[in-house]
């Protein structure tokens, strides 16, 4: 019964978030055009490298998270309640979740040993998958509520918990270590990435990205005037690349928050997207979970 109440509470929170985002989108319809002239002056063409739309005969429905490790692409699909694994040429490799292990898998991270970590938004836990045995282990049920973004560094797991408006640090055994953020730092943390001793977080409802030293307070806040409900984030090559979800594009900023370039627009073609959510980068490949189009598109980024 307590778990059922917890799930009902999470469902209500999700409905509220969706309503607020739709309301904000409606309120800003007139303002959205203010974003576009800036983008058109500095757009960056990306070359489509691969499109993943199905795992064998099963179509992707709502891909939320994506991660690249080695020669594999990992995808979470909230609607299918599954985690898919593909080769970087699109060949299906594995699927987890056939036995109902997930309720709403959201973000994903794969460590150097091949262990897969997935935030289950509805169950309020992190789920660790052993790729060899397929065994799924739940972590953090005692202190997590609505985990979204996830990042792993060594034995530590960083979790963006949207319900608690905070970033929580735990270890791989599921033990709570500390809450990194302070009250008021974040409105609705979505995705995150750790680079060295610095933490980058997309704050979706606040239309911004925040960053700062892990052991200190956030010192960088940027994206105002460019972002509308940002989700996925990837930091590489001295750039911060963000999935600008409600504006249906990918935006890039310098490490000090200066706007660099944008790519994409609303639509269904390969150079278009609809509600891009999770993103991941590795070896000059940028993977985008194009949630509204039910696909993952991998682009080649020329340096």
pLDDT single digits (tens) 210-232: 999 987 778 889 998 899 999 99
Question: What is the pTM (predicted TM-score) of this model?
Answer: 0.87
CATH number, domain with residue 55: 2.120.10.30
Domain enclosing residue 274, as ranges: 2-300
Determine the straight-line distance between the first and last CA of the chain, rounded to whole angstroms.
Answer: 54
* The total number of structural domains that make up the chain: 1
Asked if residues 15 and 133 have their Cβ atoms less than 8 Å apart, the reply is: no
Burial 38-49 (b: 16+ CB within 10 A, else e): ebeeeeeebeeb
pLDDT single digits (tens) 102-118: 999 999 999 999 999 99
Q: Residue 40, SS3? A: helix
pLDDT single digits (tens) 50-89: 999 999 999 999 999 999 999 999 999 999 999 999 999 9
Q: Where is average pLDDT lowest: 34-38, 57-61, 65-69, 265-269? A: 34-38
């Amino acid at each position: 019964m307590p778990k059922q109440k917890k799930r009902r509470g999470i469902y209500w929170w999700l409905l509220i978030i969706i309503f607020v985002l739709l309301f904000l989108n409606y309120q800003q319809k007139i303002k959205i055009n203010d974003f576009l002239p800036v983008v058109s002056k500095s757009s960056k063409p990306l070359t489509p490298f691969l499109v993943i739309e199905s795992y064998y005969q099963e179509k992707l429905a709502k891909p939320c998270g994506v991660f690249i490790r080695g020669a594999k692409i990992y995808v979470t699909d909230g609607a299918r309640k599954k985690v898919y694994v593909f080769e970087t040429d699109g060949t299906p490799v594995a699927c987890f979740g056939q036995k109902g292990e997930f309720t709403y898998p959201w973000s994903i991270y794969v460590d150097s040993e091949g262990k897969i970590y997935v935030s289950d938004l509805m169950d309020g836990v992190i789920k660790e998958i052993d790729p060899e045995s397929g065994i799924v282990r739940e972590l953090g049920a005692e202190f997590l509520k609505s985990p979204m973004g996830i990042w792993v560094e060594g034995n530590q797991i960083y979790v963006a918990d949207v319900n608690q408006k905070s970033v929580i640090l735990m270890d791989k055994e599921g033990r709570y270590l500390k809450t990194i953020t302070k009250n008021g730092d974040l409105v609705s943390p979505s995705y995150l990435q750790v680079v060295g001793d610095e933490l980058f977080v997309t704050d979706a409802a606040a239309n911004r990205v925040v960053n700062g030293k892990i052991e200190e307070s956030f010192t960088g806040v940027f994206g105002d005037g460019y972002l509308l409900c940002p989700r996925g984030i990837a930091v590489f090559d001295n750039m911060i690349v963000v999935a600008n979800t409600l504006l249906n594009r990918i935006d890039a900023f310098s490490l000090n928050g200066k706007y660099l370039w944008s790519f994409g627009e609303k639509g269904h073609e390969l150079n278009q997207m609809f509600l891009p959510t999770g993103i991941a980068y590795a070896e000059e490949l940028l993977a985008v979970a194009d949630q509204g189009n039910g696909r993952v598109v991998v682009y080649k980024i020329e340096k």
